[in-house]
Every structure is written in C-alpha cells, then in structure tokens.
C-alpha cells in the first residue's frame, strides 16, 4: 500500500516550531509550562487569522488539524497532527473560552504535580480526546482542532488526584461567572453539561460543530492518567483521611529516621507539631502518612510553591529546590 505524506507550507512549519519552541523555552527558563501553552495558543491564533487555509486547512492546503481519516494506514505520516491540532483554534470565542478555563484549572494543577507530569498529562489526554472522536468518525476528513480535549483531560486528572481542592472556574456560556468551588463539583458540572449535550445530539440528530465526544474522551483519559501518574492525596486539616494497614501481631522493626534535614521546612507551629509526631512515631506506615501530610503543608523555602515527595527526596520543580532526608 502506498504511503501518502502531505507537504505543509512554510508558515505551517513555522507554527509547529512555535509550538515546540514554547515548551522547550519554558523548561529551559524554569517557568510554568502553562504560561507557554497559553502564549503559544494566542500567537498561533493570530497566525491562523492571517493564514486560515494554511493552518486549519483549505484551498489545497492540508492544515495542522487532525482528520480521522489519518488513522488509515495510507495517511499515518500525518499523525503528528494529533499534537499540532491542540494548538489551533477557529475563532476568538473558541480560543478565549478554552484559554480562560485552562488558565484557572491549569495553573493550580501544575503547581501541585509539577511541569513534567502536567505536560505529559496534557498531551496524552489531548491525544485520547482526539482519538475518541476519530474512533466514532473514522472516514471523516473534517479537521479537528482546539485544546478543549486536553483541558477536559486536566480536569479529569485533577479531580482524581485532588478532589477536595478549591479552584476558580467560569460557570456559564453567554455570560460566565467566576466562582470558587471544589474541583470535584467543578468537574461534575462540566461533565454533566457535556453528557447532556452528547445525549441530546444523539437522540435528536442535531449534531453541532463541537466535538463533545472528544471532551468526554479527554476527561476519561484524564481519570486514568491521574490514577496512574499521580498518587491520590487527601487535603484537610488532619491526616485522618488516610487508611493504615498495620498488623499488631507481626510488628515490623521501625527504621531509623533522621528529621534534622526537615527542620528548615517547619516554618509554622502546625508544621513543627507534625514534625514532632514524625520524630516520635514508631510505626513506619503511620510515620509515612505524617510525612506526606508535612510535605503537603510545607512550602518551598526558595519560591513558596508546593513541594513534591518521592523516594526519600523532597523537591520543587518550579525552582529545582531539592532536599534529601
């Protein structure tokens, strides 16, 4: 079978370079990757306004949107559009709506999981969203564009990992109101809206130009990746949300634990109290829970951002602060 590779115009290649360059610069300069994504989306939108046929597709140009027909073996070289389509938007309302939600949801999520996990989840859920739509429209040549699938993916990963955290989100369509609610409720609202729209379109046959199945596909992909890549955490004033499995008939010998390196992080009375509990605890499992609780409460001494704990190391991806204990 013949393999077809579509040639892209120069402006499309420049656009791809902007997408990749924004992500590389973000990591090199150590600032939040969410800002690079939003900035790149707006820059690319202005290019799209000037060169719509070259970027979206039309008048002999294939564009950077993903077309379900690309899953056909003949067109597999065009699968790179799974990535590029996430940065393309078709109108101001489209990009503004996506970027405002991404701003309010993406920043707190990246602060919690770090840039590396954030971009991995963002890209993979974007792929999951697009492939969900494509699976239901395998012969379609209509380009799929927009970041909404990846945004729903971030929502899914967020609610699996930090359901009790509160975020500011826009609620509404024509007139949107910014409200501060728990992630669980925010995602439930958006998921309910998408589910209703999908049901309405399927039952009436009145299909819109919005790929609502892609939104649900991104959300579900986010659920899965959040469960796999991020250890679910409970937030609250105490560590009572955790379950400890300890067999008193066969106690394990407590391991030695030096907390002196953690002292610089105990900047409040609450953190000092938790540190004492860690020091005095003889059951490893319970002590580990208090340690997790301590890291959740503590802030990076260099930049004030949340810290991450894994394998005997505490780190901050925002400024590369690291601490071993």
- Give the H or E element holding residue 109: helix 92-113
Is 60 exceeded by the pLDDT of residue 245? no
Is 70 exceeded by the pLDDT of residue 211? yes
Is 70 exceeded by the pLDDT of residue 240? no
Which pLDDT score, from 0 to 100, does residue 249 have?
42
Strand spans (E) along the chain: 166-171, 177-182, 308-310, 313-316, 321-324
- The whole-angstrom separation of Cα 231 and Cα 322 is 20
**CATH code assigned to 10-229:** 1.20.1540.10
- The whole-angstrom separation of Cα 147 and Cα 89 is 8
Structural contact between residues 229 and 249, judged by C-beta atoms closer than 8 angstroms: no
Is 90 exceeded by the pLDDT of residue 103? yes
- What's the Cα-to-Cα distance from 113 to each of 122, 123, 220, 226, 318, rounded to whole Å? 12, 15, 19, 10, 10
Could you tell me what percent of the chain has a pLDDT over 90? 46
Q: Tens digits of per-residue pLDDT, 176-200?
A: 677 888 999 989 988 888 888 877 7
What ranges do the domains of the chain cover? 10-229, 260-324
Mean pLDDT of the chain: 84
Structural contact between residues 170 and 236, judged by C-beta atoms closer than 8 angstroms: no
Pairing assessment for the beta strands 313-316 and 308-310 based on DSSP bridges: antiparallel
Average pLDDT over residues 157-161: 93
280 compared with 231, residue with greater pLDDT? 280
Q: What b-and-e string marks burial along 228-241, b requiring 16 or more CB atoms within 10 Å of the CB?
A: ebbeebeeeeebee
Please give the model's pTM, rounded to 2 decimal places: 0.70
Which pLDDT score, from 0 to 100, does residue 206 have?
72
Is 90 exceeded by the pLDDT of residue 80? yes
């Amino acid at each position: 079978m013949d393999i077809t590779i579509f040639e892209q115009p120069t402006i499309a290649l420049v656009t791809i370079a902007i997408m990749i360059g924004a992500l590389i610069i973000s990591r090199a300069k150590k600032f939040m990757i969410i800002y690079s994504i939003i900035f790149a989306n707006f820059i690319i939108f202005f290019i799209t306004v000037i060169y719509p046929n070259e970027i979206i597709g039309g008048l002999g140009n294939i564009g950077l949107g993903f077309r379900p027909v690309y899953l056909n073996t003949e067109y597999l070289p065009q699968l790179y559009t799974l990535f590029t389509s996430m940065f393309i938007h078709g109108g101001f309302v489209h990009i503004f709506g996506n970027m405002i939600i991404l701003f309010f949801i993406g920043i707190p999520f990246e602060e919690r999981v770090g840039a590396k996990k954030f971009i991995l989840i963002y890209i993979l859920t974007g792929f999951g969203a697009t492939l969900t739509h494509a699976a239901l429209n395998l012969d379609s040549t209509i380009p799929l564009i927009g970041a909404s699938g990846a945004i729903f993916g971030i929502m899914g990963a967020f609610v699996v990992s930090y359901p009790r955290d509160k975020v500011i989100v826009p609620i509404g369509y024509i007139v949107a109101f910014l409200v501060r609610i728990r992630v669980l409720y925010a995602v439930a609202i958006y998921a309910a809206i998408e589910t209703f729209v999908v049901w309405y379109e399927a039952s009436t046959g009145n299909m819109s130009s919005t790929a609502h199945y892609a939104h649900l596909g991104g959300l579900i992909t986010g659920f899965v990746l959040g469960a796999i890549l991020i250890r679910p955490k409970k937030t609250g004033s105490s560590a009572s949300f955790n379950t400890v499995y300890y067999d008193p008939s066969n106690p394990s010998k407590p391991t030695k634990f030096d907390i002196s390196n953690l002292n610089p992080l105990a900047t409040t009375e609450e953190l000092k109290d938790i540190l004492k509990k860690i020091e005095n605890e003889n059951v490893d499992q319970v002590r580990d829970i208090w340690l997790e609780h301590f890291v959740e409460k503590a802030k990076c001494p260099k930049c004030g951002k949340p810290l991450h704990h894994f394998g005997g190391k505490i780190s901050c991806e925002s400024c590369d602060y690291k601490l071993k204990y």
